[in-house]
Amino acid sequence: MRYLPLNDANRADMLAAIGVKSVDDLFADIPAPAKAKAVFDLSNSMSEIEVERVLSNLAAKNLNASTAPSFLGAGNYRHHTPASLDYIIQRGEFLTAYTPYQPEISQGTLQAIYEFQTQVALITGMEVANASMYDGATACAEAAAMACRVVKRAKALMSGNVHPHYRDVTATAMRFMDIQVECLAPDPMGIEDLVGRIGSDLSCVIVQTPGFFGHLNDYTALAAACHAAGALLVVCVTEPVSLGLLKSPGAMGADIVVGEGQSIATPTCFGGPGVGLFATREKFIRQMPGRVAGETVDENGRRGWVLTLSTREQHIRREKATSNICTNSGLIALAFSVHMTLLGEAGFRRLAELNHAHAALLADKLEQIKGVKILPGTFFNEFAVQLSKPAAGVVETLAQRKILGGVPASRFYPTYPELENVLLLTATEMNSEGDINALAVALKEVLS
């Protein structure tokens, strides 16, 4: 087997050095009944060619966005990946390293984390950020838990404009922590009242920008109302490219900003792995979950970085830790950081402008089609539309024409008949004007 370096002569020498006769003797501690049924009806080893054949056949059964124009979003976005980005993250020194527990020989990873933390803090408008969480949804749950620790209250309020997966993951986690989460109904029109629901029992209000249905809201007044009631404002960002063009959550007064970095870091990859972004105010860092890199000096006074504030973490604090997280999403955080570095301020802004312009162009085209109504008045690169027919059927018909024409809201809200005709559409820099025209033409035919 090509991944195993030992040969039979090595094995014989090593068994002799150990003083046993066979490899099976090394498993003598395991009781016989535990080993008796270890016979498996599974395939034996394959050559590279065979593995490639099997997996390529599976891959070929999927309709992929490099062969079909895609307008899918809903928290997972298709953007361009510069060639140098994938080269850098495939370097073995990044790809095959562990968490940087030995800082003297992990300065590359540690410096990259420190740069990532700074970039995340800058674009969210916050003071500090951690080294990453699993994804945006789990980061949202961690934010709710952290708000409850900070404020010492056990209730959270969640807007109906938050991504339904973020809502479900947070509600699930909080239920087991005996924290109450009031989740408001989906809000495609962007009309819900949050300020009026803030009471003195709330730890936090959780909102999203841009909203799940596309709306752009200024949460400055909401932040003030939260703070007046002693609660925190948590803002989710599922499309961080938007931060290149929009007022940051930090500028609105957010206390914790969480998000999904996938759109900047990696291809869509069926939704995972992504990278959870987590940023907050400096005064809350000792309540923050997750790994964090900090600056220090070595014995010769030279600048370097280490993992720090570990007294919050499970390997030190065990059941009193701020979270149980250890492995997070290091390589995807690196990819996020490399892409942000490649873009720089000018490129990040241009990318955001391009996304908005393509989405606005799509909206302009769709507004001319009978049976299509664009719901949000303001949006970034994604918006909900009300169709004259159920959206799920429309999407299936478009897929038969090799167009991935949006995500039906019913996929998330099967029990809300009023959302049956609502479709989420995204346009990014990857959608050419030709793609946009093709969708408009096809949609017009399907709806007529």
Partner 1 sequence: MNEPMITTSGHRALQIEQPLIFELDTGGSTAVDLPDPPKVRMRLGNLRNDKAIGLPGLSEPEVVRHYTRLSQKNYSIDTGFYPLGSCTMKHNPRLNEKMARLPGFADIHPFQPQSTAQGAYELMDTLAHWLKTLTGMPAVAMSPAAGAHGELCGLMCIRSAHDANGQGSRKLVLVPESAHGTNPATAALCGYRVESIPANAAGRVDVAALKAKLGPEVAAVMITNPNTCGLFETECIEIAKAVHAAGAYFYMDGANFNALVGRVRIADLGVDAMHINLHKTFSTPHGGGGPGAGPTVLSAALAAFVPVPFVVHDTKGYGVVEHAGHGAAKQSFGRMKGFQGQFGVFVRALSYILAMGVDGLKQASGDAVLNANYLRAKLSAELTPAFDGICMHEVVFDDGFLKNTGVSTLDVAKALIDEGFHPMTMYFPLVVHGALLMEPTETESKATLDQFIASMLALARRAKQGDQAEWFKAAPRLAPRRRLDETQAARKPVLRWKPSEATQAAAARQAAE
List binders of partner 1 among 59-78 (CB under 8 A). Answer: 59-67, 70, 72, 74-76, 78
Binding positions for partner 1, 223-282, rule CB under 8 A:
243-248, 251, 260, 266-275
Closest CB to partner 1 among residues 151, 278: 278
Query: Within positions 130 to 159, which residues make up the interface with partner 1, using CB under 8 A?
Result: 131-132, 134-138
One residue of 195, 317, 388, 445 binding partner 1 per CB under 8 A: 317
Position among 189, 195, 364, 388 found at the interface with partner 1 (CB under 8 A): 364
Which member of 8, 21, 152, 176 binds partner 1 (CB under 8 A)?
176
- Give me the least distance between CB of 429 and partner 1, in Å please: 7
By CB under 8 A, is residue 308 in contact with partner 1? Answer: yes
Interface with partner 1 (CB under 8 A), residue from 185, 227, 228, 377: 377
Taken in order 100, 104, 107, 113, the sign of the CA dihedral is positive
Element (H, E) at 258: strand 256-260
CB of 294 to partner 1, least distance (A): 4
Give the C-alpha separation, 111 to 295, whole Å: 9
Interatomic CA distance for residues 139 and 143, integer angstroms: 6
Chain centroid, CA 299 distance in Å: 38
Q: Closest approach of Cβ 210 to partner 1, in Å?
A: 9
Answer whether 209's CB lies under 8 Å from 382's CB.
Answer: no
Half-sphere exposure of 59 (CA within 13 A, CB side): 10
Q: Given the complex with partner 1, which of 119 and 386 has the nearer CB atom?
A: 119
* Joined tokens for residue 411: 């996929």
Q: Measured from the CB atom, is 199 or 326 closer to partner 1?
A: 326
List the one residue from 146, 148, 161, 218 that touches partner 1 (CB under 8 A).
218
Does position 96 interact with partner 1 (CB under 8 A)? The reply is yes
Helix (H, G, I), strand (E, B) or coil at 422: strand
Report the site for partner 1 in 26-65 (rule: CB under 8 A). 26-31, 33-38, 40-46, 48, 50-52, 54-65
Helices 433-447 and 330-366, axial angle in degrees (round to 10):
60
Stretch that binds partner 1, among 84-92, 154-162, 191-199, 439-447 (CB under 8 A): 84-92
Q: Does 379 bind partner 1 (CB under 8 A)?
A: yes
Kind of pairing between the strands at 180-183 and 155-158? parallel
The nearest distance, CB 442 to partner 1, in angstroms, is 15
Three-state secondary structure call for residue 408: strand
DSSP 8-state symbol, 206: E
Burial degree of 34 (CB within 10 A; 0-12, 13-18, 19+)? exposed
d(CA 430, CA 354): 10
Assess 287 for contact with partner 1 (CB under 8 A).
no
Out of 157, 241, 277, 404, point to the residue binding partner 1 (CB under 8 A).
Answer: 404
Q: How far is the CB of 161 from partner 1 (least distance, A)?
A: 14
Contact (Cβ atoms closer than 8 angstroms) between residue 216 and residue 209: yes
- Rounded Cα distance between 351 and 33, Å, is 61
Site pattern 319..358 for partner 1 (x: CB under 8 A): xxx-xxxxxxxxxx-x---x-xxxxxxxxx-xx-xx-xxx
Contact call for residues 259 and 135 (beta carbons, < 8 A): no
- Where does this chain touch partner 1 (CB under 8 A) — which range of 111-119, 200-208, 228-236, 439-447? 111-119
The CB-of-432 to partner 1 minimum distance in angstroms stands at 10
Q: Per CB under 8 A, does 407 bind partner 1? A: yes
Cβ proximity of 143 and 204 under 8 Å: yes
Q: Give dist(CA 225, CA 9) in Å, integer.
A: 74
Q: What is the residue type of 306?
A: V
Shortest distance in whole angstroms from residue 231 CB to partner 1: 22
* Residues numbered 412-431 forming contacts with partner 1, rule: CB under 8 A: 414, 429
Say how many residues make up the chain: 448
Per CB under 8 A, the list member of 154, 198, 216, 441 interacting with partner 1 is: 216
Binding residue for partner 1, selected from 159, 165, 190, 206, defined by CB under 8 A:
165
Q: Which residue's CB is nearer to partner 1, number 230 or number 308?
A: 308
Of 392 and 441, which CB lies nearer to partner 1 in the complex structure? 392
Quick check: helix, strand or coil at residue 187? Answer: coil
Sign for the CA dihedral angle at 315, 319, 325, 327 comes to: positive
